[in-house]
Amino acid sequence: MTDTIFALASAQGRAGVAVVRVSGPLSWNAAEALCGSLPEPRRAGVRTVANPATGAMIDEALVLAFEKGSSFTGEALVEFQTHGSVAVVSSLLDALGSMEGVRMAEPGEFTRRAMDAGRLDLAQVEGLADLIDAETDAQRNQALLVMRGGLSAQTESWRNHLLHALALIEATIDFADEDVPVDVVPDVVAELTSVRNELAGQLAGADAAERVRSGFEVAIVGRPNAGKSSLLNRLAGRKAAITSDVAGTTRDVIEVRMDLGGLAVTLLDTAGLRDSEDQIEAIGVALAQERAAAADMRIYLLEPGQDAPDGGVAVDEADLVVRGKSDLGSGDLSSLTGEGIDALIAEVTSRLTFRSQGASLVIRARQRDALVRGSAAVDAALGALEISGADLELVSEDVRAAVTVLDSLVGRVDVEDVLGEIFGRFCIGK
């Protein structure tokens, strides 16, 4: 019999309410032992929860039971909503742990069971993991789409087209000796081409999807004392970086995480760009150049009197060049007075929002890799079909390979090795 597992599903520590989840064949028995009778399935009921071994009362809780086949895990499941006290939760967990056939869940084990029961596929599990980690609206929306099966539905449709192509090819191979000269090649080519184009479309939006998921990096660069750290602090609304009138104050890259219009953005403050005799500062400048070059966008901060960026970091059309310290005379913005700061935020947000709009549903390197391999297999099949008198056996092998790759994307085959890694990153209780 499968183990019955339990865990705190809500966050650790003091809270208004804590949720303890019990899933598996013995979950209802365990819950009945704790609270007498269970409410009707899917109907909340208030119960007194007591330790069956000692009779000691643990708490008064809202109890919810789910029947096998209609819970998150697909198993019989009970949720206790207790008062969110550390002592209540630990005595409830202790009481559960002392029961025969019931044990603490491993990280991600509830989700793993949901997947085994066919309630979620692997791509959806990845969406769920991202949803739990989501900090901004864009991350939440993206994760929800994937968790609700957006990528899975696409994959299913590609798979159906490929299977249709395969059926056409195989019928031709089977009837090769007979007198039915039907040329299936045009239909097969049409099916494969449409799949290839859709795969290419998803792949084209993978970079943007990755940015939405992990956040855009925006680096502030410029000469020493231009006011970069002051600008970072103004944008962050707190004193994240040291500022001073000493040129060469910043050496390390300072990172501040922000939410700009629902997008996750990491703002980088970097060392002022100049040739320095100071070894440590020179290392800082090299680091600044490296991080700025790798960032998605740069804000080049000009100091008063400076007309244009002076090398050191390549500035392209994705970047913003702004004049600071406007309070001293002319300029676009001032970190001292706040002038022009909202306009800068609006401009950065609109540029990044524009870039995020092409995002596809490919949220993981694993998924992208599968699409790249699937697309290569479809290309190989199409290539083989271009030769007149194409070897249909070879074509069918390529198409079959593409199907297998798509199956691995949703976890239908061949994914034991990635499962451990994916579920291990969930917390206990999920």
Ligand X SMILES: Nc1nc2c(ncn2[C@@H]2O[C@H](COP(=O)(O)OP(=O)(O)OP(=O)(O)O)[C@@H](O)[C@H]2O)c(=O)[nH]1
Q: Which does 368 bind (CB under 5 to 8 A by kind): K ion, Mg ion, ligand X, none?
A: none
Give the chain as a 3 state SS string. CCCEEEEECCCCCCCCEEEEEEECCCHHHHHHHHHCCCCCCCCCEEEEEECCCCCCEEEEEEEEEECCCCCCCCCCEEEEEEECCHHHHHHHHHHHHCCCCEEECCCCHHHHHHHHCCCCCHHHHHHHHHHHHCCCHHHHHHHHHHHCCHHHHHHHHHHHHHHHHHHHHHHHHHCCCCCCCCCCHHHHHHHHHHHHHHHHHHHHCHHHHHHHHHCEEEEEEECCCCCHHHHHHHHHCCCCCCCCCCCCCCCCCEEEEEEECCEEEEEEECCCCCCCCCHHHHHHHHHHHHHHHHCCEEEEEECCCCCCCCCCCCCCCCCEEEECCHHHCCCCCCCCCCCCHHHHHHHHHHHHHHHHCCCCCCCCHHHHHHHHHHHHHHHHHHHHHHCCCCCHHHHHHHHHHHHHHHHHHCCCCCCHHHHHHHHHCCCCCC
The reply, when asked if residue 316 is annotated as ligand binding, is no
User: Which range in 71-79, 83-91, 217-225, 360-368 contacts K ion by CB under 5 A?
Assistant: 217-225
d(CA 390, CA 67): 54
Q: How many residues bind ligand X (CB under 6 A)?
A: 23
Q: Closer to ligand X at the Cβ: 108 or 227?
A: 227
Q: Which does 277 bind (CB under 5 to 8 A by kind): K ion, Mg ion, ligand X, none?
A: none
User: According to CB under 5 A, which one of 225, 270, 276, 334 is a site residue for K ion?
Assistant: 225
Contacts of ligand X in 174-233 (CB under 6 A): 224-230
| Minimum gap (Å) between residue 239 Cβ and ligand X | 11
Q: How many residues bind K ion (CB under 5 A)?
A: 2
Q: Closer to ligand X at the Cβ: 47 or 223?
A: 223
Contacts of K ion in 245-304 (CB under 5 A): 249
Q: Does 154 bind ligand X (CB under 6 A)?
A: no
Q: Does 336 bind ligand X (CB under 6 A)?
A: yes
Q: Closer to K ion at the Cβ: 143 or 231?
A: 231
**From residue 246 to residue 265, what is the string marking binding to ligand X with x (rule CB under 6 A)?**
-xxxx---------------
Cβ–Cβ under 8 Å, residues 395 and 245: no
Q: Closer to Mg ion at the Cβ: 271 or 399?
A: 271
Q: Closer to K ion at the Cβ: 192 or 299?
A: 299
Would you state the structure tokens that stand for residue 35, as one six-digit string?
A: 């609270």
Contacts of ligand X in 274-333 (CB under 6 A): 324-325, 327-328
User: Which range in 98-106, 138-146, 225-233, 370-378 contacts K ion by CB under 5 A?
Assistant: 225-233
Q: Which does 116 bind (CB under 5 to 8 A by kind): Mg ion, K ion, ligand X, none?
A: none
| Minimum gap (Å) between residue 422 Cβ and K ion | 45
Q: Which does 408 bind (CB under 5 to 8 A by kind): Mg ion, K ion, ligand X, none?
A: none
Footprint of K ion (CB under 5 A): 225, 249
Annotated binding site for GTP: 225-230, 244-250, 269-272
Annotated binding site: 21, 79, 119, 225-230, 244-250, 269-272, 430
Footprint of ligand X (CB under 6 A): 224-230, 243-245, 247-250, 271-272, 324-325, 327-328, 334-336
